[in-house]
Amino acid sequence: NWLFHRPGEMDRELPRNTSLQQLFVVSQQSMLILGAPGSGKTMTLLQLLEELLNNALTNVETPVPFFFNLSSWRRGSLLSWLENQAYNQYRLKKSYARERLQKGRFTLLLDGLDEVPLTHRDDCVTAINDFLQDNQSSVVICSRIADYEELQNRLKVQEAVVLQPLTNSQINYFLQQGREKWEPLLNIINKDRQLRELVRSPLLLNILTLAFQDLPADELQKLETLEEKRNLLFAQYVNVMFERRPLKNEEKYDQPQAIHWLSFLGKQMHRDGVSLFYVEEMQANWLPTKLFKRYRTAYGAIIGLMVGLFLGLSVGLSVGLSDGLDDGLNIGLIFGLSSALGGSIGIGLGTRWSSSLKSDWQRSALSALVSWLIFGLLSGLISGLLFALSNGISDWLITQIRDGLIIGLIGGLGVGAVAGITSFSKQIEMRERLQIRWPSRRRLWLFVKRGLIVGLIVGLISALGIEPLAGLSMSLQDRVFFGLISSLMGGLIGGTFLSLIDSPSVDDRPLAGQGIRNSLRNAILMTTAVELLFGLIGFVLDIGLETYGLISFLIAAIILPPVFIYYGGLAYVQHGVLRRMLWRQGLLPLRLIPFLDAMTERTLLRKVGGGYIFIHRSLLEYFASLSEPAE
């Protein structure tokens, strides 16, 4: 049953033989389809898609219909989102899709307005209205009626069709098609008023007929509330899906475990108000609160270990180029081990101790200070003692410890910067896409200012801090002048270069988990680019100051680790730690994407680009309501 709504007129019931395509034409090709959960909104939209597609096949002048789910829309113009979706789903070139959309050569069937995250839903309505005003494409939108009525904004469409619950005669007619097979079920429905109200939803009526194949006819009558009967229907539907496609031995989990994982996933999605799940968008608040500090300590320690090993490699290469391979290997090994230990403990404790602070800047500053001091002192003392032991402790102890502390505190600047970045935000922020664009004046000045500050630090340390490590022949005045000029020039160039690189948010992901891989790739690409840029500056400084590669080490130690962390390395590590901790708690499988694909094969989930959506929002709500694994 359909009600036809037009602003300023009384709602009227439409004849049963009314064509959706006729309604679409009458509505001047902009229409809204509303209904209760499970009322058949998506099926109605797909029915319209079939009618419009048949018409387009016989008339080349007719706009081509395209079906999209709005659940992946976040922010920005609808036109940009549509051209991305047209590429991801239908492999249309973005420029071609944009041109056809603007000229009205596509008819857009947009499902799931109610599945857009609640915080973005009103903005989505505004984006659709802006698109309708600026472009010629026709559009049909679907939404749950209650969710639509709660919105502050309204869609600027001509008409709305409201799907009505099934009537008694429609329910009876449907079940009578099964003849003797569904006769006991029909008798129960006629006696049970609650059950009859439940199956006025086409979705639940279909699930009931599916579940009835293995469900005793009187099981539903034993339950008292409507909610209990509804949950039993969904539980039986899930059982049937697993029976039709049993789990394979190599999947290494059983049905109760799979339902437990789906329940946890549903709870998180329901709490966050999202219908479309991207693996890349998992956050630390998925963990139990008691594990949050352990999570921060774990990824901080891993980041510190990586940075420490990198510093050891940098020292080894620097010494190897100036003093030979044997010395390079020896010193690189000693400093690598001490740096790995100092970095792991320093950043691990820094991120843990700062986790309770609410201010991002306070958290970042405390973590940076703690990590710098712990790394500098611990790695410096350990490396100094190891150097002294390898060269004769009586003659070399003081000198080697002093040199180790100097190197440790200098390298600790990079470790401190990494710790500051690591602790600044509690969110996992993927760097899925890098693009070059001309920066605003504010952004340009911000990055140039940072570059000049780093250049000033590098220049002063180059001139003053490494004299004990390399017998410099230049006067102090010349060292300061040459070091500052070269480093400030490098800071200016580097700051300008980094201001051109932007990492915009990504709403379209063609493949599951692609954003995670892209973040690691972008971290490596940016680190390599910055190394090439600043490596040349370090080479010039090493020649001018005759420091035999120490300036190159200094630049690598202070600049490269923060670049790697900021441009995706941190997010990659955080995500890996989060996934592993969720697995250890039994909340999600370690191989999450294969599991989601397996649930898609069992018609519990559906893939939308690189994301996953429950086949119906009511099924998501069912899994979210489960209090413990189903037995």
Q: What is the pLDDT of residues 570-617, one digit of tens each?
A: 999 999 999 999 999 999 999 999 999 999 999 899 887 788 999 888
Asked, for residue 76, whether it belongs to a domain, the answer is yes
Do 310 and 427 sit in the same domain of this protein? yes
Six token digits for residue 158? 């001509």
Q: Are 372 and 447 found together in one domain?
A: yes
Q: Is residue 417 part of a domain?
A: yes
CA-based radius of gyration for the chain = 32
**Whether residues 305 and 239 fall in one domain:** no
- Domain end residue (candidates: 137, 163, 189): 163
Given this model, what pLDDT does residue 630 score? 43
Asked if residues 139 and 110 have their Cβ atoms less than 8 Å apart, the reply is yes
Q: Between these two residues, 198 and 524, which has the higher pLDDT value?
A: 524
Q: Please determine, for residue 232, whether its predicted confidence score (pLDDT) is greater than 90.
A: no
Q: How many CA atoms lie within 13 A of 518 on its CB side?
A: 20
Asked if residue 630 is part of any domain, the answer here is no
Question: Strand, coil or helix: what is 288?
Answer: coil
Band of pLDDT at residue 631, cut at 50, 70 and 90: very low
Q: What pLDDT does residue 477 have?
A: 63
Helix, strand, coil shares of the chain as percentages rounded to 5?
70, 10, 25
**What does the pLDDT read at residue 532?**
76
How far is it, in rounded angstroms, from Cα 332 to Cα 316? 4
258-272 average pLDDT score: 93
Helix (H, G, I), strand (E, B) or coil at 141: strand
Which of these, 286, 285, 234, lies nearest to 259 by C-alpha position? Answer: 234
In a domain, 264, yes or no: no
Instruction: Tell which wins on pLDDT, 147 or 394.
Output: 147
**CA dihedral (114, 119, 125, 127) positive or negative:** negative
pLDDT in tens, 444-497: 767 667 666 666 665 555 555 555 444 445 555 655 665 566 556 656 665 666
Domain-embedded: residue 34: yes
The Cα–Cα gap between 150 and 122 comes to 10
Q: What per-residue confidence (pLDDT) applies to 618?
A: 87
- Per-residue pLDDT of 517-545, as tens digits, reads 989 998 998 888 877 776 666 666 556 55
Closest CA to 314 of 483, 118, 535, 110: 535
Q: How far apart are CA 523 and CA 314, in angstroms?
A: 18
Pick the residue with more confidence: 543 or 199? 199
For 146-184, b/e burial (b = at least 16 CB within 10 A) is ebbeebeeebebebbbbbebbeeebbeebbeeeeeebee
Give the span between the Cα atoms of 249 and 609, in whole angstroms.
Answer: 28
Predicted local confidence at residue 91, as pLDDT: 78
Same domain? For 382 and 302 the reply is yes
**pLDDT band, residue 374 (cuts 50/70/90):** confident
Q: Let me know if residue 590 belongs to a domain.
A: no
> Are residue 395 and residue 348 in the same domain, yes or no?
yes
CB 184 within 8 A of CB 176: no
Residue 150 lies in a domain: yes
Instruction: Give pLDDT, residue 199.
Output: 84
What is residue 404's predicted lDDT score, i.e. its pLDDT? 61
Same domain as 6, residue 146 = yes
- Inform me whether the pLDDT recorded for 380 exceeds 50: yes
Residues 197 and 328 in one domain: no
* Residue 125 belongs to domain with CATH number: 3.40.50.300
Task: Tokens 């009458």: give the residue.
Answer: 26
Q: Check whether residue 152 and residue 195 sit in a common domain.
A: no
Q: What is the pLDDT averaged over residues 76-86?
A: 88
Q: How confident is the model at residue 307 (pLDDT cuts 50, 70, 90)?
A: confident
Select the more confidently predicted residue: 526 or 391: 526
In a domain, 130, yes or no: yes
Q: Among 494, 487, 470, 468, which Cα is nearest to 560's?
A: 494
Taking the chain, what is the end-to-end CA distance rounded to the nearest angstrom? 39
pLDDT digits (tens, 9 = 90+) for 419-446: 777 777 778 888 887 776 676 777 676 7
- Comparing C-alpha atoms, which of 241, 188, 193 is closest to residue 216? 188
Query: Which pair of tokens denotes residue 268?
Result: 């998180």
Q: Report the pLDDT value the prediction gives residue 388, as an integer from 0 to 100.
A: 64
Answer yes or no: do 92 and 14 share one domain: yes
Q: What is the pLDDT of residue 255?
A: 93
* pLDDT score recorded for residue 411: 61
Residues 304 and 448 in one domain: yes
Per-residue confidence (pLDDT) for residue 122, from 0 to 100: 92
Q: Looking at the structure, do residues 76 and 123 belong to the same domain, yes or no?
A: yes
**CB neighbours of 406 closer than 8 A, spacing ≥ 6?**
380, 465, 466, 468, 469
Model pLDDT, residue 495: 61
Q: Which domain holds residue 25?
A: 2-163
Average pLDDT over residues 104-125: 90
Confidence of residue 206 (pLDDT cuts 50, 70, 90): confident
Please indicate, yes or no, whether residues 397 and 543 belong to a single structural domain of this protein.
yes
- Measure the CA–CA gap between 348 and 367, rounded to whole angstroms: 9
Share of the chain above pLDDT 70, in %: 74
Cα 490 to the center of its chain, rounded Å: 34
Pick the range with the lowest mean pLDDT from 61-75, 140-154, 540-554: 540-554
- Of the candidates 375, 350, 346, the one whose C-alpha atom is nearest the C-alpha of residue 362 is 350
Count of domains forming the chain: 3
Among 188, 213, 244, residue at a domain's last position: 244
What mean pLDDT do residues 545-559 have?
61
Average pLDDT rounded to a whole number, residues 38-55: 87
Question: Which residue did the predictor score with more confidence, 113 or 341?
Answer: 113
